[in-house]
Structure 1
């Protein structure tokens, strides 16, 4: 099945381009400090899923327009008052509602490609939960202020953050972060473990993330990336079950064209050129994904 051209996706809240196998996505609603809107959520989900399905894309890199005063200031308050950005469709019941930030977070978390975020400004609410936690790698400006206002607003941390954060930093740190209502910086003892790199200058964050993206894109087999992420996110329930899963994965990968190319490149001391594609992979996913789409969409 052919994919639509990137420019036909109807993106308005984000800009997107592909450079050397890297899908660069930039939040560009600077007038509103890149506040998370319903349309931004739809744009992000659409372009992230496009990147997942495109074999030319090996890495997804999210950042914000460097001229913006914030990376993401959280949910757009005009839409919060209307109810759309937090509560979705008014006619939805509690069982039918799907958190917009969570939909974005899952599109990132379930993406088969490497995902990187370059946080080049302050982040509040969903600018932390939805737009940082689901990524494989996080780069951030040391001076960024991170604010989680959920409990003060009478709501709760969304975007699957209660699930993701405890897995990323541990239960104790996650509890301190989500329940303290404190403003934090990346160097905080509870937060610093979350970041791959903390950069002293705001303008250095994106270049550092892009350089890392180019390096990892060149040296990583896309199908092997998808297998590794799948095993991290969906391990066996016991060590024995996990052993069976990674044994099968190793057998498949070792016998693949990628496995042959990787060994040749190593012996010849050159960069590999992996031929296998994610779209042609037949074993992934080996688990049964749960359908979390809106129930009314299936009627």
Structure 2
């Protein structure tokens, strides 16, 4: 895909720019407080999929317009009252609904590039579940209020958050976070381990995330990143099976052009220039797991 295609994605709720291998996606919704809408979900899915396949992209950073107090104030309640797809009120059968927040979470979680959330404002509902949990790294303003109103609204935590949060902080802490209805801050004992860095000033969040992204973009081989994320997200069912996956991955990467360049750069004490690309990494082995199509109800019923 060319750079012109990035600008022709038809994005209206987010703005995207590619700078030195870092794709910066900024929530800039026309709705109050960057509320999560069906259109925003489509925009985010589209831009993260674009970043996944474009080899110029090394890292994807999501942040919000700093002039808006909220990073994301959760689902747009006015849209829901009008019959939005956000709560599954458009389908006749239960197994036909596909949670838009969950679709966004999957586009981020399954992305082969490094993903970073730079949370520079308050976050409620989807602003925590779909726009923080599926990322590889999270930077956040210490003064941000995190609110999960699901149970008070008679619904439940969405965006695959019950799966992701338990994996990230453990079941006990995830239970406390999701069932307590509490308003929390990033320094909460249950939450703090989620974050790579908690910044005292709101304006420092994005620069810190970008500095970290730049370091990763320069020093990490994209294909090795994708393999490592695959092993983290799709491990074997036992340590022995994981050993087999590790061994094959190490063999493939060790024999690659990246492996040769990494060793040479190390010996020459310089930054590496990795030649292998994610788009060219297709084989009968990778991915070693069977991806499940969740976009079509007829193909993915439970």
Question: Would you call these one fold, judging by a TM-score over 0.5?
Answer: yes
Aligned match of 1:279: 279
Unaligned runs of 5+ in 2: none
Q: 1:30 touches 1:69 (CA, 8 Å); kept in 2?
A: no
Superposition deviation, residue 214 in structure 1: 0.3
Distance 1:296 1:242, change over 3 A: closer
Aligned match of 2:161: 161
Structure 2: how far apart are the matches of 1:297 and 1:168? Answer: 29
Q: 2:293 touches 2:299 (CA, 8 Å); kept in 1?
A: no
Unaligned runs of 5+ in 1: none
Superposition pairs of residues 72-151 of structure 1, within 5 angstroms: 72-88=72-88, 90-151=90-151
Superposition deviation, residue 79 in structure 1: 1.1
Structure 2: how far apart are the matches of 1:238 and 1:167? Answer: 17
Superposition deviation, residue 88 in structure 1: 4.2
SS of match in other structure, 1:71: strand
Superposition pairs of residues 1-299 of structure 1, within 5 angstroms: 5-29=5-29, 31-88=31-88, 90-282=90-282, 283-295=285-297
Query: Runs of 4 or more off by more than 4 Å in structure 1?
Result: 1-4
SS of match in other structure, 1:140: strand
Structure 1: how far apart are the matches of 2:232 and 2:123? Answer: 27
SS of match in other structure, 1:279: coil
Superposition deviation, residue 69 in structure 1: 1.4
Superposition deviation, residue 233 in structure 1: 0.2
Distance 1:22 1:142, change over 3 A: same
SS of match in other structure, 2:103: helix
SS of match in other structure, 1:106: helix
- Show CA shifts across 1:151-189 (max 9, x none): 000000000000000000000000000000000000000
Superposition deviation, residue 274 in structure 1: 0.2
Q: 1:76 touches 1:85 (CA, 8 Å); kept in 2?
A: no
